[in-house]
Structure 1
């Protein structure tokens, strides 16, 4: 009898599983609106399926539909309050909503954001993302509503116990945010020397750019290229050279290399490389070449706002 019931239910179970797998594939391909359509129907038919509810929350979140994402994650938190990942996602969606509303309204949300992240960290002693969220939250909140550098450092130390690289990066972030550049550089370098990942190189490069140290930024990207050999790093060098009007020949050479080897996996659309070449030629006061490249950027994407603004500057040369 039990076997008969199982066989009768099998088509339904398989049908539901196909919907979940289809939605997961869409989310992986960043087809969030399509995933939403599939998941809304699935959750309507399976209102207690926690995976379906979670994935629908994810689909909403990726589309910045924060209220709907919050609603889905809240169902999960109410159903299973001891699931750290549910608490983390709930807190994250609430936090993003807080950033999208007025400061007064955000104040009514912050306590719930903090409570969710703290609960996630308490439930899972190895939850890296929850601790990162707490580091950022405590640094970004004003002291009068709960911001605290010492608490941020506490969770950075917890991160360091889980992963030295994450701990060092978190401390670099804290000291950079607190305008202590020497300490920030120290920890970003420690992260780089310990991990050596693309992310570590990017954090140090971004830090140097913000500190108006383009030469150091370029040197760091060149070291990153020696280790990781990624075409996207050609663009990064070209960008710094163009932005800061330095080493223009090197920047031009790198941008041409980026264009020659470009693929979608490089991340930065090719029109941005054309835009940077236009900047470099503008810096050289070569109006003809600058117009050539900015027109190429606009031909690739007609609604390229920054390129339109740059063309206006070039025409004034």
Structure 2
């Protein structure tokens, strides 16, 4: 989920969320009869609350619908989404999503999200659990494209799985290229990204970089494509290019929290431009990241790395510890803090 995925919210937000939880429990006890009186209407109401990010108001309605009918696949699906968006709990999310696909196997989006969640869990899993979770990713993505052949994200996920998984776990360069060709045929823009990943895998870095530039040229206003190129630069230690790219994004879009974080991450990985990296991460720590942004635990961790590489050990220790206060299960912060002592 690699820290390019969302994590936790700031303490102030967490406090407000806790208050909402308490209030929602009280409200639920008063309104459960109303919730159960019209399942269809209340499902629509809960979905609307979810889409408005009112997760703690939506949660008891979905739960009441499941209490009435445990086979309500959509309610299970949305509780899985809430476990991710509000709780940052992939393990709990997978429990809800497994029920969703059990009770309705025909929904591609259910299978795709379950596959994504297995992937998140696999990143931090033990060597004993990771293979099973990886196989779960493959199974769910295959079912997704079986149900929806034009589901490009699932095809892209399959391509990456085949490229990165060992052969004993189902990895296959040949199958990865099949998915890349399917993506090109069905979506030429995403085909540029797929080609870039294949070239990168083949160590054809100039061709890979060219495809990322083609991707950006296809839609200059899509900042995601610029980030893909930035991640490519980070992964291949072209740090000056990464700094410049993310700085340009931030200059054009000062509201872009991702750019702040990625400038800091580039400094954390490289040890370069430590003042700039630290400044950006400190700004990020004063923000309230959205569900698609890296969490504040990761921001503290990256800031600690910047200080660590700069020889500011006491400051590094403070921020590794802060990461663990937010997320006691942050494996990388635990390991880094242990090395400092």
1:54 to 57, 72, 77: 77
Higher helix share: 1
Equivalent residues in 2 for 1:1-16 (5 A)? 14=38, 16=40
User: 5+ residue gaps in structure 1?
Assistant: 1-9
Q: 1:204-248, CA deviations, whole angstroms, 9 ceiling, x for partnerless residues?
A: 222212212211111221232244333532343244235423334
Larger relative contact order, structure 1 or 2 (CA cutoff 8 Å, min sep 6): 2
Instruction: Please say if 1:237 is aligned against 2:260.
Output: no
The verdict on how the C-alpha distance between 1:262 and 1:190 changes in structure 2, with shifts beyond 3 A counting, is: farther
Question: What is the rounded CA distance, in whole Å, between the counterparts of 1:194 and 1:180 in structure 2?
Answer: 21
Contact in 1 for aligned 2:76/2:97 (Cα 8 Å) = no
- 2:20 aligns with none
Q: Tell me the TM-score normalised to structure 1 length.
A: 0.67
User: 5+ residue gaps in structure 2?
Assistant: 1-33
Stretch moving more, 198-207 or 54-63: 54-63
1:29 to 53, 57, 61: 53
Q: 1:62-88, CA deviations, whole angstroms, 9 ceiling, x for partnerless residues?
A: 5423355323312211xxx4x433444
Length, aligned pairs only: 293
Q: 1:97-129, CA deviations, whole angstroms, 9 ceiling, x for partnerless residues?
A: 77757658946983x764553343244232222
- 2:8 aligns with none
- 2:196 aligns with 172
Stretch moving more, 269-278 or 197-206: 269-278
Instruction: Please say if 1:247 is aligned against 2:273.
Output: yes
The verdict on how the C-alpha distance between 1:93 and 1:219 changes in structure 2, with shifts beyond 3 A counting, is: closer
Question: What is the rounded CA distance, in whole Å, between the counterparts of 2:274 and 2:127 in structure 1?
Answer: 43
Contact in 1 for aligned 2:131/2:169 (Cα 8 Å) = no
Equivalent residues in 2 for 1:133-282 (5 A)? 133-144=157-168, 146-196=170-220, 197-232=222-257, 233-251=259-277, 254=280, 258=283, 262-265=286-289, 267=293
CA RMSD after TM alignment: 4.5
